Every structure is written in structure tokens, then in C-alpha cells.
Amino acid sequence: MVSAQAQPTSFAPESPADKAGKAELVEQAFSQHSYLYSQLIQHCFTFKLSSSCWTKFSDPANTENDSGLGTMNYWCRYVTEYAKRQGLGDLEALKSGSPQDQKDNRPQMDAIIQKLKAQFSMSIQAPGSCTAKGYELMRRYPYEVLERIGYRTPA
């Protein structure tokens, strides 16, 4: 079994500011995208970001791909593909369909996410000043890792 555990055992828990930033992302994902992605953010990602990185990550002036929500949509898509490839279930199929179908599928999604948590978690740390290059690296490095485990790793 290949594990995508990226969280070191000495990693400190999320700070109150990190929890608030994450809660905002979860709410945005739920209201603007899907229940599924909100739950993946809540249960599979840990954030330790400086205040300047949270400011950029949550800035509504950022274009969709540069925003925290846009970034998380890509990350979550790759996590769902990873779950499917690991034989846990097809979360994207459960997410598709009418709003009522999605609501009806929540218990199945939750059960798959609980199994997924045992195999996957990712911690995003950006404690320093969030320069343009630093912000790009903070978003792109996890993207590259998730893309590889989600799509580009041979089955």
C-alpha cells in the first residue's frame, strides 16, 4: 500500500487563525462548489499558514485559479481520483447529479472519506512572509504532489 501521509508526527495542531481560515474555505467550498469538497478540506488537509499567506489565500480579488477555493478545487479533484484508484469508491460519481442526489449520497461520501483519512492527509505549511514566489510555491507544490498521486502514478 502506498501512503500519501505528508504530516510529520511532530507537527503542531492548527492554530486558531489556521482553524478560522480553514473554516472559511470549508464554508466557501460548501456554498460555491460541493459538500464533498468541503468535507475533504475539513478532514484531509491541515493548514499552518502565516497571516500574510491566509490573506492571499482568502483574497476575493484573486482570480479563481489563484484563490484558495480555486486551488482547493484542484487539490480535492486529485484526492477523489486517489480514493478511486485505491478502491475506496468513486466520490466524483457520488457528487454528480442533482442537488438532491448529492444530498442523498452524503452518507456514502462520508463513509469513503472516513476510510480515506486512514490513507491520506496533507499538511500545508507556509509560516513565512507570503511573497509572490512563496505564494506560488505554497499552492503549486501540493498541486504537483496531488496530481502525481491522483492521476499520473501508474495504477
Domain boundaries, the chain: 16-152
- At 67-84, the pLDDT tens digits run 888 899 999 999 999 999
In the predicted structure, residue 53 carries a pLDDT above the cut 50: yes
At residue 104, the pLDDT reads 96
Greater confidence, 12 or 17? 17
What burial letters (b/e) apply to 89-115, b meaning 16+ CB within 10 Å?
bebeebbeeeeeebeebeeebeebbee
Enter the C-alpha cell of residue 39. 468535507
Task: Compute the average pLDDT of residues 108-125.
Answer: 95
* Entry pTM: 0.87
- At 85-105, the pLDDT tens digits run 999 999 999 998 888 999 999
AA letter at 125: Q
d(CA 15, CA 11): 11
